Amino acid sequence: MPKNPAQAHLDQKLLGRIPLVVGVTGHRDLRPGGDRAALAAEVDAVFTELKAKYLEGQPETPIVVLSSLAEGADQLVSDVAISHGAVLIAPLPMELDEYVADFRAPRCIEPDAETKFRAMLDRALAHVELPYREAGSRPLVASDENKRAEQYQDAGIFIVRNCHVLIALSNGEDTGLTGGTAEIIKFKREGIPLKLSASINAALDGSEVGPVIEIVTPRAKVGSPEVKIGIKPWGSAAPWFIWTAIKRLAVFGASACGFVPHAHPNAEDRSWLVFRALAEQTRRFNREAKTASRRHRRAPTPAKSLSQLFENTKQEVKVGAEPSAVRSAPYWCELYKLADVAAILRQKQFKIDWFLLFAVGFVALIAFELFAHIWPELHLLLAAYVGMFAVIFGWFIIARHREHQERFLDYRALAEALRVAVYWKLGGIEASVSDAYPIKQPSELAWVKITLRAIDMLHLTDSPEPIPMDARSLELIRELWIDGQRGYFQRQGDRHHRRAERGEAQSILFLALSPLVGLGLLWWAPALGLLHHSLIVAMGLFAGGGAVVAGYIEKLAHNAHARQYDRMRLLFEQALWLMPAGAVGADLDRTEELYRALGSEAMKENADWVAIYRQRPIRPAG
């Protein structure tokens, strides 16, 4: 639904940023008196620790709270969250006009329930009215409590699928009620059952599984167990870097002793480790997105990066395409341009890393050869050799700690998925990019899928006017996307082929010169005199230079890049052949199906490429 005008400025927090999404579930019938104040204090402590421990107090990462604003727990948590600067989005289990019946007699618990609900709804950025299930309608939901419970269940599923962590106010009792607190907690911890999943792929993926922060909460209901207010242990016990160091030391020590441990964290610990990694990647991207919005000499401006999406192969801008895309997909466009620039900057940085490692290594080789064969008395050369290796390992540690290569791969994967999203929106194709993203990718790429889901959810709340899918819109993205990507992959493939061939030729030349110099030494050794040692140095440097060039080309993976670009070029060429210009309007449904499949395949190919290169981290040359 359209955003609340009084809170419209809040969406500026979300444009171009990836939010940390917190879901809420809990009992409606909180006991009156001091319980509410005590529970509010516990919830306040949770948000304080989330911000300090997982967001490290970084203001660039917004917190979004998903709450249906039911009486009791939902409203209490939402109120505390807003006091911490969180943005509230309310997924309502049904139409607003029907949902307010829950806040009127005889369904309400407190006499002023409707007033409190509407006041809280006014504080929300937006609300989403979930559709009725098949064979359901407003009259049925109003009269049939079972149908109504199914709608509450759907609201809980929406929250579970879209939140990164769930805050639950529960007394621990499993009542078995449809849409009840215990069921929603179970969905978050174990996954959504097949019969309730949006699709088979979604059920197999299980990306909604995550951590739960459970606050023990007494109920006013007669016969409920008596419990004491408090927070169950939550979160990872040790700081991330300490846990990682301990794990690596344990594995190293065990391997040295002759065995490899097979211990794995339990499901709860694993969910918190994944959540910490997710929060870290989100926090890191948002920090870099802030700097990416500034002008850099080594990358296009974000505005230029976005405008390039709407240029054809002749670099002609299609008039009106960019404004239409920005209107229909504001969150996608804003995040794409920042992710693209951040990826370009990190790509350049990790190329510099490799160049420095190989270049300094070659300089170290020169210093050693000169010391060993020409000036053995000049110990400064030996010191320089040792110093160069210190520089290599120092730079290697910095590059690995800052994860230049990993960040480039993550940001490129995100940008490529967002590219598909923008073109789909521009063509009027209303498809969920997060659902189309490949399932069961390595955990690092799970961040991309979860991010896409969060932006999908924000798009639902903003409800921009969609672009109609017709022959004109589909022909437009054929020209901009399919033909544009085909041309891009062809150019990039040719460029990487040339670089690989040039590097290979240089490497072979250096390696060939080394034995030639050696033959010269054998043939003319008595007549060379002082040149003898110089030629020995040259022989070693030619061999070392060939190895350096070959290693540098291999680490930059020009041949592998060229093969990937060739595969992608063939994919888009096939799409152009299947849907020639002017034939798009003949069968809109078939064209839409083709474009959906093409987008899914493009994201899968990119995800596979990223997963492969994540297994080739930067390391010292040698």
For residues 325 and 221, state if they share a domain.
Answer: no
For residues 600 and 475, state if they share a domain.
Answer: yes
**pTM score:** 0.83
| DSSP string covering 426-452 | HTT----HHHHSPSS--HHHHHHHHHH
**Looking at 175, 207, 231, which one is the last position of a domain?**
231
Residue 494 lies in a domain: yes
For residues 227 and 306, state if they share a domain.
Answer: no
**Looking at 176, 198, 231, which one is the last position of a domain?**
231
Is the confidence at residue 341, as pLDDT, over 60? Answer: yes
For residues 381 and 518, state if they share a domain.
Answer: yes
Residue 269 lies in a domain: no
For residues 60 and 181, state if they share a domain.
Answer: yes
For residues 221 and 321, state if they share a domain.
Answer: no
Q: Which residue type is seen at 589?
A: D
Residue 363 lies in a domain: yes
- Which position has the token pair 């939140």? 163
Tokens of 511: 């390696």
The CATH number covering residue 45 comes to 3.40.50.450
For residues 212 and 336, state if they share a domain.
Answer: no
Strand locations in 397-512 (E): none
Residue 147: in which H helix or E strand, if any? helix 145-162
Question: Of 185-199, 461-475, 521-535, where does the model show the most confidence?
Answer: 185-199
CA proximity to 4, closest of 133, 100, 75, 90: 90
Residue 508 lies in a domain: yes
- The answer to whether the beta carbons of residues 216 and 229 sit under 8 Å apart is yes
Across the chain, what does the average pLDDT equal?
80
Write the CB contacts of 421 (distance below 8 Å, at least 6 apart in sequence).
329, 332, 336, 433, 452, 455
Q: Report H helices in 163-232.
A: 181-190, 200-205
Is the confidence at residue 98, as pLDDT, over 90? Answer: yes
For residues 55 and 171, state if they share a domain.
Answer: yes
Is the confidence at residue 592, as pLDDT, over 80? Answer: yes
For residues 160 and 12, state if they share a domain.
Answer: yes
Q: How many domains does the chain have?
A: 2
**Looking at 172, 199, 231, which one is the last position of a domain?**
231
pLDDT digits (tens, 9 = 90+) for 302-322: 888 899 999 888 878 888 899
Question: Of 229-243, 413-427, 488-502, where does the model show the most confidence?
Answer: 413-427
Average pLDDT over residues 505-531: 55
Domain with 505, as residue range(s), is 302-614
d(CA 115, CA 217): 24
Residue 620 lies in a domain: no
For residues 211 and 342, state if they share a domain.
Answer: no
pLDDT-based confidence at 160, cuts 50/70/90?
very high
For residues 223 and 307, state if they share a domain.
Answer: no
Question: Of 282-296, 413-427, 584-598, where does the model show the most confidence?
Answer: 413-427
3-class SS at 90? strand
Burial profile 286-295: b = 16 or more Cβ within 10 angstroms, e = fewer = bbbbeebbee
For residues 460 and 564, state if they share a domain.
Answer: yes
Residue 76 lies in a domain: yes
d(CA 318, CA 312): 7
pLDDT-based confidence at 245, cuts 50/70/90?
very low
Residue 261 lies in a domain: no
pLDDT-based confidence at 7, cuts 50/70/90?
very low
pLDDT digits (tens, 9 = 90+) for 458-496: 888 876 778 889 889 999 999 999 999 998 888 887 876
Average pLDDT over residues 210-236: 89
pLDDT-based confidence at 532, cuts 50/70/90?
low
* Percent of the residues in the chain that have a pLDDT greater than 70, as a whole number: 76
Residue 621 lies in a domain: no
Write the CB contacts of 391 (distance below 8 Å, at least 6 apart in sequence).
360
